[in-house]
């Protein structure tokens, strides 16, 4: 009886000594390169790749980065001064990606293969700083019950450059009855903070047009004369000549609106129909 009992205990000990299989995760992250920035919004993407044991629940967190005072909602690249940016988990860039459940970390479940998550990065409009390249380093952490936290680091870079962008709304006069007809358009200029710029308006496409004698063209090449001005009183012509009739400004890193005041003078007797012209907006900086 003693021999059988001893034998059973030895079997039990041998069985208990067998190692249990452990869950695990690994991670890899790609760098985020914003490229050139001059004040307009820049959107780019990166990725975090996670490989976990099948069935293992995990969370993917992104830390605040290396900038002094940064948080997971106010990250910054640094080079003397700061260049702010944000990281999101959705394409609409509304869901912040942080490093806790309350700051928007991303949850997943392992399937034994690589699972790729897109990081949606953005530098918002209106940032400013020296014309240099800025950098940051973000750590992605993969954590979960029963696993050792895995990490992966990736770089974030962006360069502030001297530059401008411009957009404009259409100027629609509507019906002309022979009386003075006024309307407006908006030219929006976004230039690097501190950059001086000028905005010029071309003569248009009508035959013989000048910046002081513009015309829309209608049926049978008929002309309807109009003017473009930089003031609401319609007394300062808006042209494209340095120091005389173009409009100047200084970039702030955000879009700056400039109103174009259009006017069709009274007393014109043109052929009825639709008249159009195309004006080119030029920004020099």
Residue at a domain's end among 124, 143, 160: 160
Which range of residues forms the domain containing residue 80?
Answer: 24-160
Q: What is the pLDDT of residue 254?
A: 86
The rounded distance, in Å, linking the Cα atoms of 129 and 108 is 38
60 and 145 in a single domain? The answer is yes
- Nearest CA to 81 among 30, 129, 14, 145? 129
pLDDT band at 243 (very low <50, low <70, confident <90, very high): confident
Residue at a domain's end among 106, 136, 160: 160
- CATH code of 46's domain: 2.60.40.2040
Residue 276, beta-bridge partner list: 217
83 and 194 in a single domain? The answer is no
The percent of residues above 90 in pLDDT, for the chain, comes to 85
257 and 169 in a single domain? The answer is yes
Q: pTM surpassing 0.85?
A: no
Q: What is the pLDDT of residues 244-265, one digit of tens each?
A: 799 999 998 889 999 999 999 9
Number of domains in the chain: 2
Structure tokens at 186: 């908006």
Q: What is the pLDDT of residues 29-53, one digit of tens each?
A: 999 999 999 998 999 999 999 999 9
141 and 188 in a single domain? The answer is no
138 and 29 in a single domain? The answer is yes
pLDDT band at 80 (very low <50, low <70, confident <90, very high): very high
Largest distance between two CA atoms of the chain: 126
Q: What is the pLDDT of residue 128?
A: 87
Compute the C-alpha angle 170/174/176, nearest 5°.
135
Tokens 């995990």 -> residue: 58
Continuous H helices in 197-260: none
Q: Is residue 78 within 8 Å of residue 134, measured between CB atoms?
A: yes
First to last CA, the chain: 100
Of the listed ranges 1-15, 122-136, 231-245, 252-266, the least confidently predicted one is 1-15
124 and 201 in a single domain? The answer is no
Based on the number of CB atoms within 10 Å of its own CB, is 122 exposed (0-12), middle (13-18) or buried (19 or more)? middle
pLDDT at residue 228 tops 90: yes
What average pLDDT score do residues 66-76 get?
97
Q: What is the pLDDT of residue 22?
A: 67
The rounded distance, in Å, linking the Cα atoms of 130 and 82 is 9
98 and 218 in a single domain? The answer is no
CA 96 remoteness from chain centre? 15
């Amino acid at each position: 009886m003693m021999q059988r009992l001893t034998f059973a205990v030895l079997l039990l000990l041998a069985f208990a000594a067998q190692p249990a299989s452990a869950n695990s995760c690994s991670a890899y992250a790609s760098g985020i390169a914003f490229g050139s920035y001059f004040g307009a919004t820049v959107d780019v993407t990166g990725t975090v790749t996670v490989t976990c044991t099948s069935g293992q629940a995990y969370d993917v967190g992104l830390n605040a980065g290396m900038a002094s005072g940064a948080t997971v909602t106010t990250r910054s690249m640094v080079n003397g001064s700061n260049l702010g940016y944000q990281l999101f988990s959705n394409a609409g860039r509304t869901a912040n990606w942080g490093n806790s459940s309350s700051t928007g970390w991303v949850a997943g479940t392992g399937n034994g293969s690589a699972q790729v998550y897109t990081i949606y990065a953005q530098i918002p409009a209106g940032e400013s700083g020296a014309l240099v390249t800025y950098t940051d380093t973000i750590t992605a952490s993969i954590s979960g019950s029963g696993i050792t936290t895995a990490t992966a680091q990736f770089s974030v870079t962006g360069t502030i450059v001297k530059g401008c962008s411009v957009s404009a709304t259409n100027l629609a006069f509507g019906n002309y009855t022979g009386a003075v007809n006024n309307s407006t358009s908006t030219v929006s200029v976004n230039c690097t903070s501190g950059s001086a710029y000028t905005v010029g308006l071309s003569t248009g496409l009508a035959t013989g047009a000048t910046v002081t004698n513009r015309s829309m063209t209608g049926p049978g090449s008929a002309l309807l004369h109009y003017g473009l001005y930089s003031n609401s009183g319609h007394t300062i012509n808006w042209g494209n000549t340095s120091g005389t009739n173009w409009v100047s400004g200084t970039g702030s890193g955000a879009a700056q609106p400039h109103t174009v005041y259009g006017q069709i003078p009274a007393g014109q007797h043109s052929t009825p129909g639709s008249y159009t012209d195309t004006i080119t907006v030029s920004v020099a900086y």
